[in-house]
């Protein structure tokens, strides 16, 4: 597990691409990256442009970058206060099922929420961790030769207003929320990270091990 702190989206993409190649070649073990992004809108492979509700220049003015990216899913927002998890994991033969993988990521977020006092769940037919009709954790995944990248994003304490700029994940009739809003008080990201790491390890039957924080662009 590597905690990377606040990372610009482009850097995280590069890092993932490198780690995926290294994982595929067996050079590194399964890795979970935990980080936050600078404000950014990302469009999945299936994203519809009309789900971004304001023009790109206006976004740039607000300091929000836009990326098209190779994960599944529609458009979403990342920003400070949202914990993003990128598992670079080779799914073992018994787990080579993308639905199972997505369900497992949901499980990790749902368990972490429970530790903080929030009952999150699933909505049949939709992806993510939900509290009522509001999404607290989103998922968008890429799998290449059963090595995963991209992953999940749990809203701990982000500014939720940028979600107003988009139709998150293309779902129009549901809202987004955060742990902080649900609990009505500050929730430090640092308290959530170990919970996510532990549950990830449990759900994926791995031993969690802190890896040195990789300087971006540097060596492992």
**What residues are labeled active site?**
169
Q: Work out which of 171, 192, 196, 197 binds other proteins, going by CB under 8 A.
A: 171
Spatial separation of the C-alpha atoms in residues 202 and 112, rounded to whole Å: 11
Q: Interacting stretch for other proteins, rule CB under 8 A, among 7-15, 25-33, 88-96, 198-206?
A: 88-96
Spatial separation of the C-alpha atoms in residues 2 and 13, rounded to whole Å: 15
Q: How far is CA 158 from CA 40, 181, 189, 211, in A?
A: 12, 10, 10, 26
| Residue with tokens 């549950």, as numbered in its chain | 199
Phi, psi of 179 (to 5 degrees): -60, -40
Site for other proteins in 9-68 (CB under 8 A): 44-46, 48, 50, 53-54
Spatial separation of the C-alpha atoms in residues 117 and 195, rounded to whole Å: 12
Site for other proteins in 98-157 (CB under 8 A): 98-103, 114-119, 124-127, 131-132, 139-145
Cβ closer to other proteins: 28 or 54? 54
Q: Work out which of 31, 34, 72, 112 binds other proteins, going by CB under 8 A.
A: 72
Q: Can you tell me whether residue 105 is helix, strand or coil?
A: helix
Cβ closer to other proteins: 107 or 211? 107
Residues in the chain: 220
By CB under 8 A, name the binding residues for other proteins. 44-46, 48, 50, 53-54, 70-73, 93-94, 96-103, 114-119, 124-127, 131-132, 139-145, 161, 164-165, 171-173, 175, 182-185
């Amino acid at each position: 597990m590597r905690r990377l702190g606040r990372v610009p989206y482009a850097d995280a993409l590069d890092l993932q691409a490198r780690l995926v190649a290294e994982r595929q070649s067996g050079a590194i073990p399964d890795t979970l990256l935990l980080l936050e992004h600078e404000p950014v809108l990302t469009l999945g492979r299936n994203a519809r442009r009309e789900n971004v509700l304001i023009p790109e220049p206006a976004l740039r003015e607000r300091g929000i970058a836009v990326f098209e990216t190779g994960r599944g899913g529609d458009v979403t927002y990342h920003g400070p206060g949202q914990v993003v998890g990128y598992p670079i994991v080779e799914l073992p033969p018994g787990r080579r099922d993308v639905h199972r993988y997505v369900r497992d990521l949901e499980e990790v977020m749902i368990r972490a929420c429970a530790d903080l006092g929030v009952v999150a769940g699933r909505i049949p037919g939709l992806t993510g961790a939900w509290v009522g009709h509001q999404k607290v954790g989103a998922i968008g995944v890429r799998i290449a030769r059963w090595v995963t990248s991209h992953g999940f994003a749990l809203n701990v304490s982000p500014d939720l207003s940028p979600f107003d700029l988009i139709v998150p994940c293309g779902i129009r009739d549901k809202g987004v929320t955060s742990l902080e809003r649900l609990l009505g008080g500050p929730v430090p990201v640092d308290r959530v990270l170990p919970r996510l790491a532990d549950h990830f390890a449990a759900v994926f039957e791995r031993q969690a091990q802190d890896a040195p924080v990789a300087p971006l662009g540097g060596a492992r």
